[in-house]
A and B are shown apart, each in its own frame.
Chain A
Amino acid sequence: MISINTYLELIPSLLDGAKVTIQVLLWSLIFTFIIAFIAGLGKLSKWMVIRGISTVYIEIFRGTSLLVQLFWIYFVLPLFGMELSAMTAGVIAMSLCYGAYASEIVRGAILSIPKGQYEAAIALNMTPFQRMKNIILPQAFKIMLPGFGNISIELIKGTALVSLITLSDLTYQALTLRNTHVGLTTEIFLSLLILYFFIALPLILFVRWMERRVQVGRA
């Protein structure tokens, strides 16, 4: 009896943590996909400088771990006079890290569109921008969706690391509570599991729904 009451008292803290996690997640999702498109298209640019910058960015952020990137952005940048809140630092690090991965999905999908589609668009005298926007990207987008779904789920897992730069996210709250209520370890970690699942669920359903929507009319 006592343990259930104590357990119920813990729930608000866990929910507070979930709120922070969701906040980090949503912002990171938005910026991840913006960065993915910029870097993915950048790597396909006809200008060498843009290709070079995109490649360097992608390789650096894919080649180092998210944890190291978080530490750099939160603890090292201030030494050079760039002070960021934990939330901002977390979102920036997550977006840059997953954006680098997602840019490869964007690039791969664009490259998978047959040459004939570009040529037909040229024959209709579309500008390079129109070719990309009206012909290539709508087709490539469909191919990106499964990859984007996976990246989104990865992002949720990645958010747990922001606790290490002092953000009181879900994982952070759970770890703190466990220190003070050792007897409830199982309950706390079970709640953690369930809460993460419910954060992921809408994302999973959303990606499914999108995939079905873009199937329409295509064999």
Chain B
Amino acid sequence: MLTTMSKEITEKRIQTEKPFVVYKKVSKSFGDLKVLREIDFSVYPGEKVAIIGPSGSGKTTLIRLLMTLEEPTSGVIEIDGVPLWHKEVKGKLIKADEKHLHKMRGQIGMVFQQFNLFPHMTVLRNCTEAQVKVLGVNRKDAEDRAKEMLEKVGLGTKLDNYPSQLSGGQQQRVAIARALVMRPKVMLFDEPTSALDPELVGEVLDVIREIAAEGDMAMILVTHEMEFAKDVADRIVFTDGGKIIEEGSPKEVFENPKSERLQSFLRRMRK
């Protein structure tokens, strides 16, 4: 129910507001391998976008560019109208320095396939370190915020545990809390459940559903969980061969796929 309501709110925003993230003809190559080919893609404030597509189609790369983990080969990505990887000097776009990236990155958060928690820190410390060091929040407030988010992901009792003492599903939920405490405007999820044992997938998806239902934060979710994508996303984007082949509402994409490639992809996923 909540999801439906938040979807309506997002719907309104898409009609009235400017997109928050815009990819303009973005390409990425690794050596000779063209991974993304002139991608045009936008995300609106609060919008939930699921990216689906076959392995190697460039889904991960697409969101790693936004997290500044990979640099685009060509094209421009804008966040709230400001180029991410470039700086404007005398009307020309030049490559941005670390200082500019630092300023921009604060708006983006990411949850990784392999969790990437800091093994030498407790759960609580994982969720306070960046608040204190990056945002300059005092430790007490940072801990309060961290506890609130850890409570939300159902780990309020594991504050003093180390990551190695938690199950994969618990670790991924800590990773979600760790990203949430930073209050990003857009949160990226790269197949957040594909490293998990099947019985632990549900608990992580439930947490993400709940966060999505709260509305405000835009989300880009790379996922192989089609049911989940259908539930959570306002829009589904299908990539193949480094291009966006088709996009639309979950209904359009899943019930009435137009391209042959999407049709065959969905047939394979249903098996």
Chain A residues proximal to chain B, CB less than 8 Å: 114, 116-117, 119-120, 122-128, 130, 134-135, 138-139, 142, 217-219
Contact = CB atoms under 8 A, between A and B. Distances in A.
Interface stretch (B10-18, B111-119, B205-213, B217-225): B111-119
B133 A116 contact: no
B119 A139 contact: yes
Contacts of A135: 118
Nearest to A119: B69
A196 B48 CA distance: 68
A117 B115 CA distance: 10
Nearest to B164: A219
B162 to A, nearest CB: 4
B182 A128 contact: no
Contacts of B149: none
B67 A126 contact: no
Contacts of B133: 126, 130, 134
A28 B156 CA distance: 48
Contacts of B106: 125
Contacts of A123: 67, 69, 105, 108-110, 112, 179
A217 B122 CA distance: 8
Contacts of B110: 119, 123
A126 B165 contact: no
Contacts, number: 69
A218 B109 contact: no
Given A119-B69, A126-B133, 19 more contacts: A116-B112, A116-B114, A117-B116, A119-B67, A122-B67, A123-B69, A123-B108, A123-B110, A124-B129, A125-B105, A125-B106, A126-B134, A127-B102, A127-B134, A130-B133, A134-B129, A134-B133, A217-B122, A218-B119
B69 A124 contact: no
A124 B119 CA distance: 16
Contacts of B162: 217-219
Contacts of B182: 124-125
A130 B112 CA distance: 20
B117 A120 contact: yes
Interface of B: 67-69, 98, 102, 105-106, 108-110, 112, 114, 116-120, 122, 129-130, 133-134, 162, 164-165, 175, 178-179, 182
Contacts of B118: 117, 120, 135, 139
Contact of A138 (B105, B109, B120, B122): B120
Contacts of A219: 162, 164-165
Contact of A125 (B112, B120, B130, B178): B130
Nearest to B165: A219
Contact of B112 (A119, A127, A217): A119
Contacts of B98: 127-128
Contacts of B116: 114, 116-117, 119-120
A20 to B, nearest CB: 39
A119 B66 CA distance: 13
A130 B116 CA distance: 17
A118 B69 CA distance: 10
Nearest to B117: A120
A142 B112 CA distance: 25
30 contacts: A114-B116, A116-B114, A119-B69, A119-B110, A120-B117, A122-B67, A122-B68, A122-B69, A122-B105, A123-B105, A123-B108, A123-B179, A124-B109, A124-B129, A124-B130, A124-B178, A125-B106, A125-B134, A126-B130, A127-B134, A130-B133, A134-B129, A139-B119, A142-B120, A217-B120, A217-B122, A217-B164, A218-B120, A218-B162, A219-B162
A130 B119 contact: no
Contacts of B112: 116, 119-120, 123
Contacts of A120: 112, 116-118, 175
A50 B105 CA distance: 28
Looking at A130, A138, A139, A217, the one whose CB has the most chain B CB atoms below 10 A away is: A217
Contacts of B122: 217
